[in-house]
């Protein structure tokens, strides 16, 4: 740790191919409309606090308009169209997203703060792949094993988070349209820009008006959408706290819902693991996307006899993490998405100090403006510590140890969450045993944070209801399927 990493010359991606309007209306019934509710709010670049644009806060009457447009499109157009043609619109969307991939990536990094390397190589290609994958399902639903001639719900209200804005949009919209639903989608208030760019993609694809409607706003808009009587089904990705509110509210209205919620994933390193690979996986597990990942490997559980060795290598590796300008192609760790999220990360880290865990971060210079947090690990963490129980949603790793494989499983499962888990071991039978014992919806063995449209994603326990992706993800958008 005495040597600084190589000096790299700045390698910023150009902003030139992105044009951001000074302000945006709502995308309803195929065109841009001014909101009836006149309030606007700013969306900023979290890396430097520059105001990027003014966004409309959709009010109740705006939600009404969007739901009505989606209903009309469903009854008059979308539900009558042959499935094969419906699929072709999704193929078109996938292609246009590929064509405009760099634009999406730059805009995503500007609005979200994530490194361009990730938005360019992960978020946007995966988003396009989701449309491509689901496009092919549209006219094959009868063969999906989800009942005979399964039927869509109708109008789906979708609410997505700020951590993977365009990717979550694709996870939501692609299966909903492929199965024949129409959509009203609300992006997160801090990251609306790529969803608004997606509205242009819908126009270029000549998607029938009203099939996709995009309304912006905060939690009030979201709650109005959830409770709207014209919405048949809810799909939400976000916090477990809000997920429970939605579960209560639909208990009364009888809507169906899929929920993708929080996590506190265990990443277990057994003594026989390939340590160097495990260290790469640990870094990817917690520092990918600044740790703003519901399935992040935020609890590292190391077998006691290799704890010191793993820790030493992890620290050496962490010292090479480049924190800074999200648009720089060499950046590994970008900006924290918002002041509120930064405050939450700081609050929980302070609790880690106060409860007796030991904090360590590599030496790293953080930019003066914007929201930043250095990659951080805590050692000496016990299961009762808040940093072992609560989702931090930032670049903060809690390290625990175990002696026997049974103890590792017990610690890993000791959480109300159950979204994902990691296993590092070179022994096949141990991997299969551990993946059976872990109560989580996605298990990464000798890898971490991998996603694919063909691979179902979703959690056990309080991490949510249902799956997204793969054949299993279709069930969420078809009546009576599971």
Distance CA 320, CA 212 (A): 43
Query: What is the distance, to the nearest Å, from the Cα of residue 430 to the centroid of all Cα atoms in its chain?
Result: 30
What's phi and psi for 75, nearest 5 deg? -75, -40
Catalytic one of 260, 271, 390, 468: 260
Nearer to another protein, 178 or 445 (CB): 445
Helix, strand, coil: what percent of the chain each, to 5? 40, 15, 40
Distance of closest approach, residue 216 Cβ to another protein, in angstroms = 27
Distance CA 344, CA 386 (A): 12
Strand-pair partners of 55:
41
DSSP 258-285: EEE-----EEEE-TTS-HHHHHHHHHHH
Instruction: Count the Cβ atoms, other than its own, within 10 Å of residue 25.
Output: 20
User: Do the beta carbons of residue 367 and residue 324 sit within 8 Å?
Assistant: yes
**CA dist 457 → 25, 232, 314, 479 (Å):** 33, 23, 28, 20
Strand-pair partners of 328:
12
What's phi and psi for 414, nearest 5 deg? -80, 70
Residues 6+ apart with CB under 8 A from 191: 43, 108, 111, 112, 162, 165, 337
Q: Interface with another protein by CB under 8 A: which residues?
A: 129, 145, 147, 240, 243-244, 247-248, 250-252, 259, 261, 416, 431, 435, 440-447, 450, 452, 454-458, 460-462, 464-465, 467, 470-472, 480-482
Catalytic one of 13, 294, 295, 390: 294
Strand-pair partners of 212:
183
Nearer to another protein, 244 or 316 (CB): 244
Distance of closest approach, residue 21 Cβ to another protein, in angstroms = 34
Task: For residue 361, give the H/E element and its range.
Answer: none
Nearer to another protein, 113 or 473 (CB): 473
Reduce the secondary structure of 291-333 to three states and give it as a string.
HCCCCCCCEEEEEHHHHHHHHHHHHHHHCCCCECCCCECCCCE
The closest alpha carbon to 161, from 250, 245, 261, 234, belongs to 261
Distance CA 63, CA 233 (A): 15
Distance CA 90, CA 135 (A): 5
Distance of closest approach, residue 20 Cβ to another protein, in angstroms = 31
Nearer to another protein, 101 or 481 (CB): 481
Distance of closest approach, residue 95 Cβ to another protein, in angstroms = 17
Distance of closest approach, residue 443 Cβ to another protein, in angstroms = 4
Nearer to another protein, 414 or 455 (CB): 455
The position carrying tokens 């988070």 is 161
Reduce the secondary structure of 103-138 to three states and give it as a string.
HHHHHHHHHHCCCHHHHHHHHHHHHHHHHHHHHHHC
Distance of closest approach, residue 354 Cβ to another protein, in angstroms = 28
Query: 3-state DSSP call for residue 46?
Result: coil
Nearer to another protein, 208 or 441 (CB): 441
Distance of closest approach, residue 146 Cβ to another protein, in angstroms = 9
206 given a catalytic annotation: no
Distance CA 105, CA 89 (A): 22
260 given a catalytic annotation: yes
Nearer to another protein, 199 or 440 (CB): 440
Distance of closest approach, residue 283 Cβ to another protein, in angstroms = 16
Nearer to another protein, 220 or 247 (CB): 247
Distance of closest approach, residue 391 Cβ to another protein, in angstroms = 15
Nearer to another protein, 21 or 244 (CB): 244
* Residues annotated as catalytic (active site), given as ranges: 260, 294
């Amino acid at each position: 740790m005495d040597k600084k990493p190589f000096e790299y010359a700045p390698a910023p991606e150009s902003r030139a191919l992105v044009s951001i309007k000074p302000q945006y209306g709502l995308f309803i019934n195929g065109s841009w409309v001014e909101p009836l509710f006149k309030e606007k709010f700013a969306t900023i670049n979290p890396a430097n606090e520059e105001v990027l644009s003014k966004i409309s806060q959709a009010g109740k009457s705006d939600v009404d308009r969007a739901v009505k447009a989606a209903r009309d499109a469903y009854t008059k157009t979308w539900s009558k169209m042959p499935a094969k043609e419906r699929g072709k619109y999704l193929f078109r969307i996938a292609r246009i997203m590929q064509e405009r991939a760099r634009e999406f990536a730059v805009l995503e990094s500007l609005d979200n703060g994530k490194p361009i390397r990730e938005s360019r190589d992960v978020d946007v290609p995966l988003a396009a792949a989701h449309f491509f994958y689901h496009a092919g399902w549209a006219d094959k639903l009868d063969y999906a094993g989800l009942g005979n001639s399964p039927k869509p719900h109708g109008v789906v209200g979708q609410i997505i988070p700020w951590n993977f804005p365009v990717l979550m949009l694709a996870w939501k919209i692609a299966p909903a349209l492929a199965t024949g639903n129409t959509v009203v989608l609300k992006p997160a208030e801090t990251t609306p820009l790529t969803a608004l760019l997606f509205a242009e993609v819908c126009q270029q694809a000549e998607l029938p008006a009203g099939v996709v409607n995009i309304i912006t706003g905060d939690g009030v808009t979201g709650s109005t959408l959830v409770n709207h009587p014209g919405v048949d089904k809810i799909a939400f990705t976000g916090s477990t706290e809000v997920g429970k509110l939605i579960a209560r509210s639909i208990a009364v209205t009888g809507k169906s819902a899929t929920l993708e919620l929080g996590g506190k994933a265990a990443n277990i390193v057994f003594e026989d693991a390939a340590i160097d690979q495990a260290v790469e996986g640990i870094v990817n597990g917690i520092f990918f996307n600044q740790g703003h990942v519901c399935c992040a490997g935020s609890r590292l559980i190391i077998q006691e006899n290799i704890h010191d060795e793993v820790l030493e290598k992890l620290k050496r590796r962490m010292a090479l993490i480049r924190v800074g300008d999200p648009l720089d192609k060499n950046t590994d760790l970008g900006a924290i998405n918002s002041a509120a999220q930064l405050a939450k990360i700081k609050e929980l880290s302070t609790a880690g100090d106060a409860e007796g865990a030991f904090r360590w971060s590599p030496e790293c210079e953080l930019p003066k403006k914007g929201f930043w947090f250095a990659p951080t690990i805590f050692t000496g963490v016990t299961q009762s510590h808040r940093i072992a129980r609560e989702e931090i949603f930032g670049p903060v790793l809690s390290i625990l140890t175990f002696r026997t494989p049974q103890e590792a499983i017990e610690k890993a499962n000791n959480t109300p969450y159950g979204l994902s888990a990691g296993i590092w071991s070179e022994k096949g039978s141990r991997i299969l045993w551990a993946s059976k014992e872990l109560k989580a919806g996605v298990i990464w063995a000798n890898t971490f944070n991998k996603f694919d449209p063909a691979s179902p994603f979703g959690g056990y326990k309080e991490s949510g209801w249902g799956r997204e992706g793969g054949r299993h993800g279709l069930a969420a958008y078809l009546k009576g399927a599971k």
